[in-house]
Chains A and B, each alone.
Chain A
Amino acid sequence: MIELWFAIIAFLWTGYFVLEGFDFGVGMLAPLVSRNATEQRASLQTIGPVWDGNEVWLITAVGAMFAAFPAWYAGVFSTFYLPVTLILVGLIVRGVGLEWRGKVDNPLWCDLGIVVGSALPAFLWGSVFADLLFNNALAAVVGGVFTLAVCALHGAVFLALKTTGPVRRRARVAALIAGGVTIPVAVAALSSLGTIPALVSMAALAAATALIWRRREGWAFAATAASIVLATLAVFMELRVRPLPGLTLVEAASASYTLGMLTWIGLIALPFVLVYQGWTYWVFRKRVLVAGS
């Protein structure tokens, strides 16, 4: 039961990184791939209907950690106090930026909030997890740069997939550059893990870059998503025995009654969540047309 709940939490974090990963990337890159207000709006509209739902994966992952492994939850967030504070600041300014930008006359502040609020958590989540694994400042920086770069690549591929015209063209260029940066950083960040998922994750990044070059945007997105899934899997495989220095998973876990109840609730609720979130992506499956292109 404890192992199952660790796997569920790993799954929720994976879902979070895959989904919010691309909307972090879009948030960071929107000003770079847009030359005017219309293009900027269209770029952000690719994530408009889904980013908030994506963020709930984080809320659920953290809530599940609280419920299933209270000591782990408490240990991680009190240990990484300042990085988590900054992550929250990022998520706050990004959230209001995204929600408010369509409702203000001059969206400059909102755009600033979106860029900073996307880049900051994208970097900090990577450095928090790297520090959790290696307890080393250099590793934390490398980990942060890695997640930042992967989110940029993932977001650029998503933008290329969801837009038309010049934005799509620039997003492809951004993806190629991001791919070029990400691959060496990934080697630095993931090779120390050395496990098969970590290695395949690197290969998937290379594949994504190649696929973008060949204009296969859908497949490229699948490859970046797969890369994030595998990298997250590699991290959680390492954390499996000791999720926090000095704390074993068993020590951190809630009692079997709680885990059993949570399992039932998860079994009932999760399929619905997956179906209606999937439906959202289906409803908004068309490319966002950039006016005038």
Chain B
Amino acid sequence: MDALDLARWQFGVTTVYHFLFVPLTIGLGIFVAGLQTAWHRTGNEQYLKLTKFFGKLFLINFAMGVVTGIVQEFQFGMNWSEYSTFVGDVFGAPLAMEALLAFFMESTFLGLWIFGWDRLPKRVHLATIWAAAIGSNLSAYFILAANAWMKHPVGYEVVDGKARMTDLWAVLTNSTALAQVPHVIAGSFVVAGGFVLAVCGYWLLRTRAEMWRRAARAALVMTAIAGAVVAGTGDHSAKLMYEQQPMKLAAAEGLERDTEGAAFSVVPGLEIPKLLSFLSTNDLEAPVQGTEDLQRRFEQQFGPGDYRPDGTVVFWSFRVMIVFGLATVGLSVLGLWLTRRRREFPAWLSRAMLLALPLPLIAVIAGWLLSEIGRQPWTVAGELLTASSVSPGVSLAEVATSLTIFTLLYGALAVAETVLLARHVRKGAEEQAPVQAAEAPREPSLMY
């Protein structure tokens, strides 16, 4: 165990943890904005109650997304100073843009939304939640553009051992980013839709209130549509991976040798002939490169070393992502069909909807494991190895200390957040006070 291992663990722990909250924030923000819009248009009080109910759950979760995100920004400098120095010129730009164009908008307008219920005109107040929700989606775009650059670096040249940006537009319209953005954002909508479904399922088991039916139907629609987008963009991503990250594709399939008409292995030992070639290229006979042959070619290109990612993790995370993701989408399509034309939600469906909370969360985490472990041993594909990215001056003890602190803190906060969310779900939406009004004593118009 050395500082590099611990730094990698720290990155894994903090990133996975951060990404438990982010998709919920991204999707739930839009969902709450949609509910408030529905209230604004119809004047139906049920939508107002739902807005405040889900708004509160959104805020509890938003706090975690923010505070875990700030660790990410510092971590590159703290643990990965060689990486930061090498790529800052290119990678820093989308990060700075995220802060300037998305974070300011998100947090400022969210503050206005929370405290502005009785202070802003209705229409303006509605606009603030939309601005906040759009801000968090925008921030996903910039982060994914930065992340995609690590897997498929474009718009740069290496000068004096450092990456220099030559084309910002190329970085922002990287084909990998353009594939990842809709995939991840739609995945976030599935996570948020699943969260809403689970909450509605809990309530539909207890009451037949029209309000929960409405919310559940909206979430079913959101999850089904977003699920279709996830599947479509996932297919597109696989085709890009074939071109840009053949090693990841081979590892995800456990394919060792270059093969024409490669089979898709469902689980080890169960294969569907030619499907992998077809999924990768739309051509049944196309050649697919295997890990061992790629390893040999990479050694010729980059010198001695092991260029294969952890095959087991990549193989299984790929399958978990697909199965758990499809299960959620299947559930929502089924739910839409069963509840068509104002049919009641059967009790077993409401119960099954509780699963819609963990399933897509596990799927998105597996997706990130596939994506990030699959690109090892590179931090920047073909340019910089993970082993060369770590901070040279940071000791094992320092990384161990911060890893321990963050892990313990994150564990405690996870428990607290779960308890808090569960308690607010149980309280229900009937007695929703304005989100902050209980705390906001009315002011006389006193000026200073």
- Residues in chain A within 8 A of chain B (CB atoms): 38, 41-42, 45, 48-53, 55-56, 58-60, 62-64, 66-71, 73-79, 81-82, 84-85, 88-89, 91-93, 95-96, 98-100, 102-104, 161, 164, 217-218, 254-255, 257-258, 261-262, 265-266, 269-270, 273, 276-277, 280, 283-291
Contact = CB atoms under 8 A, between A and B. Distances in A.
A66 B426 CA distance: 44
A52 B110 contact: yes
Contact of A92 (B70, B78, B420): B70
Interface string B72-89: 011011111110111111
A222 to B, nearest CB: 12
B93 A261 contact: yes
Contacts, number: 245
B16 interface: no
A82 B404 CA distance: 12
Nearest to B76: A66
19 contacts: A49-B112, A52-B111, A53-B111, A60-B96, A64-B92, A71-B85, A73-B84, A75-B81, A76-B77, A81-B402, A92-B70, A96-B413, A254-B89, A255-B159, A265-B97, A273-B105, A283-B116, A286-B445, A286-B447
Contacts of B162: 70
Which DSSP category, helix, strand, loop or mixed, fits chain A's interface?
helix
A118 to B, nearest CB: 14
Task: Point out which of A70, A92, A289 has the most chain B C-beta atoms below 10 A from its C-beta.
Answer: A70
Given A92-B409, A273-B104, 19 more contacts: A42-B441, A49-B111, A64-B99, A66-B73, A66-B96, A67-B95, A70-B84, A74-B84, A84-B74, A85-B402, A85-B405, A88-B74, A96-B416, A255-B159, A255-B165, A258-B165, A273-B100, A273-B105, A277-B104
A64 B96 contact: yes
Contacts of B116: 49, 283
B108 A280 contact: yes
A66 B165 CA distance: 14
B221 interface: no
10 closest A-B pairs by CB = A70-B88, A67-B92, A77-B77, A99-B63, A74-B81, A66-B92, A74-B84, A60-B99, A53-B108, A63-B96
Contacts of B56: 103
A270 B116 CA distance: 23
Contacts of A285: 447-448
Given A88-B70, A273-B104, A48 B92 contact: no
Contacts of A277: 104, 108
B64 interface: yes
A60 B440 contact: no
A73 B73 CA distance: 11
Given A60-B100, A99-B62, A283-B112, A82 B443 contact: no
A254 B67 contact: no
B99 to A, nearest CB: 4
Nearest to A104: B420
Interface stretch (B173-181, B234-242, B250-258, B393-401): B393-401
Contact of A289 (B84, B88, B442): B442
Contacts of A284: 115, 119
Contacts of B107: 52-53, 55-56
Contacts of A262: 93, 96
